[in-house]
Amino acid sequence: MEQFFEFAGNHVVLVSALLLSFFLVVFTELRRKAMGVSNIEPQEAVRLINGDAVVLDLRSAEAFSRGHIVNAKNLPYDEIGSDQEKLERFKGKPIVAVCDAGITSAKLVATLRKAGMENVYSLRGGVNAWTQQSLPLVTAKKIRGKD
């Protein structure tokens, strides 16, 4: 312990920079948590999806049919609005909200977290970031009815 104090006394600038960096990281994480929005990267989303998370695609039905994440549920943001009852059935599982660029999903996540849902995440960058990471999208297939 004596050597620590001697080192700190001899290298005040270095120790000050270390402490400042530590407090900056802690402050940033606390502020992010207080904002109520938790953005996750595509790799983290894959981990959650593999762990049985529900993917809610907030885009229009047309955009959803052009390509979506495997097993995603299409629930356009305009249809949710202030009616969050549609999301109650997913309350027990982690939810990953997805939109085109991550802006709309971040709004929904902030609203849901204020309403008491904790395991709700927004895909940072949305489907655009997903495709930039070369992750797969599923396109809707038209099913022909039997006559």
99 catalytic residue (yes or no): yes
The DSSP code sequence of 97-118 is EE-SSSHHHHHHHHHHHHTT--
Residue from 37, 54, 58, 99 carrying the catalytic annotation: 99
Report phi then psi at 121, rounded to 5: -135, 150
As annotated, the active-site residues are 99
